[in-house]
Amino acid sequence: MPLASQNEKVKQMAQSPTSKQVGTATLTFNQKTATLPVLAGTLGSECVDVRKLQSELGMFTFDPSYGATASCESSITYIDGDDGVLLHRGYPIEQLAENSSFLEVAYLLLYGSLPTATALEAFTTGITRHTMLHEQIRRFWDGFRRDAHPMAMLCSVVGAMSAFYPDSIDIHDARQREVSAHRLIAKMPTITAWAHKYNAGQPFMYPRNDLSYAESFLYMFHAVPTETYKPNPVLTKAMDRILILHADHEQNASTSTVRLAGSTGTNPFACVAAGIASLWGPAHGGANEAVLKMLAEIGHKDNIPDFIKQVKDKDSNVKLMGFGHRVYKNYDPRAKIMQKTCYEVLDELGIKNSPTLDLAMELEKIALEDDYFVSRKLYPNVDFYSGIILSAMGFPTTMFTPIFALARTVGWISQWKEMIEDPTYRIGRPRQIYTGAAQRDYVPLDQRG
Ligand code: ACO
């Protein structure tokens, strides 16, 4: 969408908030009553608007892990966790994964509608022309240990982009916001592939503008200067689909991190670096790496019952990685598509028997019949199968989360852009229940017992 009409749309959105008041809720405490608006969006649960609670009742709400809190209004992604539904700008993930391409989904997330053929071509050309990194960024890698985790390299290099592209860090300039979004989407494959090349001790391969986004990434990752690289269409399609499936997922931990960092007015590269750091943890994007480690540790189907026993033991701290989700209380729709893609990839690669896939499927079957998982509504999430596919495609385990970060960059930057373009946004600043000592006087050192 051209910038001018985009600005127009942003203005219209500013005039008409997307959620509507559908009622009120009253809260009474200490003989005082607050009447709070109840808001509803297009889909999903109603929300009590508690913003006036402090001024009316002198109290805050307490929700430490935000399990019951909507932190923003957003028109980008919708999840129905009970029914296992995921929509981007209204389009079901199944339809996008089947019919769309990653750059088309990127356009959809960023601009709100599916592009026309002309708009997609212009967008693709724009992204393709930004894929190279400032040549001096190459030197960053010399400073890392050879065995540095690629997520550590991604955090650093993306954060450092703000020092290399100062011409696109004015968040109040719509054109600069757009350029930095394009730069991030375009350069992430190069950064991710180079992090691997550095680990592997191989020469960095430069992006190729004659290849598609997914193809160029696979080329930079797998190719070496001494051999001709032949892209495989089935693996390219699988890569593109993996990118689509990870592109956005509303207000998850890393996206909320990006929004919170962005709410201070910091630049988009710094925000996305913060998002990468947040994604790294095993409870979030790091789970795909953890799933393969877990499967390797289980080793054989015969060991599954013992493993499940450990998972159920609250003192063991062992989790069934790739299972469970804060929002999905049903099968994650992305996991279903991942499982299908997994078969396509293994078939293409001529892998008739995958002991890892067999083990994963047996583990899933046993877990889905076990009352512990059934009663807690724990189902496979996107990470349960993604590692198996990525591993079959020749990606080392440590690269799984960086590939997630590469795909999620468009979600992060779209959510950041949406927030900045919302005229009502303020710095994010949660409150707390203070449980420390009440005020007391300083005791000089010689008087302390
Ligand atoms: N294995 C075993 N038990 C689990 C698991 C699991 N994977 N997930 C949740 N539970 C249990 C909890 O211990 C809790 O049990 P309790 O009621 O007896 O105390 C119950 O199920 C509810 O779980 P919560 O901890 O409340 O779920 P929460 O929303 O806080 O956590 C999370 C969600 C972090 C995803 C969790 O399910 C988990 O750690 N899963 C494994 C890691 C993983 O796969 N993460 C990827 C998530 S998807 C993504 O980010 C791409």
pLDDT in tens, 288-347: 999 999 999 999 999 999 999 999 999 999 999 999 999 999 989 999 999 899 989 999
Q: How far does residue 411's CA lie from ligand 1's centre (Å)?
A: 23
Q: Is the CB of 326 under 6 A from ligand 1?
A: yes
Closest CA to 2 of 102, 132, 113: 113
Who wins on pLDDT, 356 or 200? 200
* Tally of CA atoms within 13 A in the half-sphere of 198 that contains its CB: 25
Q: Name the helix (H) or strand (E) containing 28.
A: strand 20-29
State both tokens at 181.
């979004």
On the question of pLDDT at 2 being above 60, the answer is: no
Mean pLDDT of 98-113: 98
Mutate to test the pocket of ligand 1, among 63, 254, 316, 325 (most ligand atoms within 8 A of CB): 325
Average pLDDT over residues 174-195: 97
Lowest mean pLDDT among 16-20, 211-215, 368-372: 16-20
pLDDT of residue 3: 45
Dist. CA 366–CA 304, nearest whole Å = 8
Q: Is the pLDDT of residue 139 over 50?
A: yes
Checking if the pLDDT of 9 tops 90, the result is no
What atom in ligand 1 is closest to the CA of residue 65?
30
Residue 12 pLDDT > 80: no
Q: What is the mean pLDDT of the chain?
A: 94
The whole-number average pLDDT for the span 190-197 is 98
Tell me, in angstroms, the distance from the centre of ligand 1 to residue 402's CA: 22
Give the mean pLDDT of 273-297. 95
Dist. CA 324 → ligand 1 center (Å)? 5
pLDDT interval class at 17 (50, 70, 90)? low
Average pLDDT estimate for 44-70: 95
What is the per-residue DSSP string for 114-146?
PPPHHHHHHHHHHHHTT-SPPGGGGGGGGGS-T
Whole-angstrom distance, CA of residue 38 vs CA of residue 50: 9
Contacts of 281 (CB under 8 A, 6+ apart): 253
* pLDDT value of residue 11: 44
- d(CA 320, CA 70) in angstroms, rounded, equals 28
In three-state secondary structure terms, 380 is strand
- pLDDT recorded at residue 59: 95
> What tens digit of pLDDT does each residue of 367-394 get?
999 999 999 999 999 889 898 899 999 9
Q: Are 301 and 308 in contact (CB under 8 A)?
A: no
Could you tell me which of 413, 418, 416, 419 has the C-alpha nearest to residue 187?
413
Question: pTM of this prediction?
Answer: 0.92
Residue nearest to atom 36 of ligand 1 (CA): 324
* Protein residue whose Cα sits closest to atom 17 of ligand 1: 376
Q: How confident is the model at residue 353 (pLDDT cuts 50, 70, 90)?
A: confident
**Residue 80's beta-bridge partner residues?**
85
Q: Which percentage of the chain shows pLDDT scores above 70? A: 96
Picking from 177, 182, 92, 170, the residue whose alpha carbon sits closest to that of residue 130 is 182
327-338 burial string, b = 16+ CB within 10 Å, else e? bbbebbbbbbbb
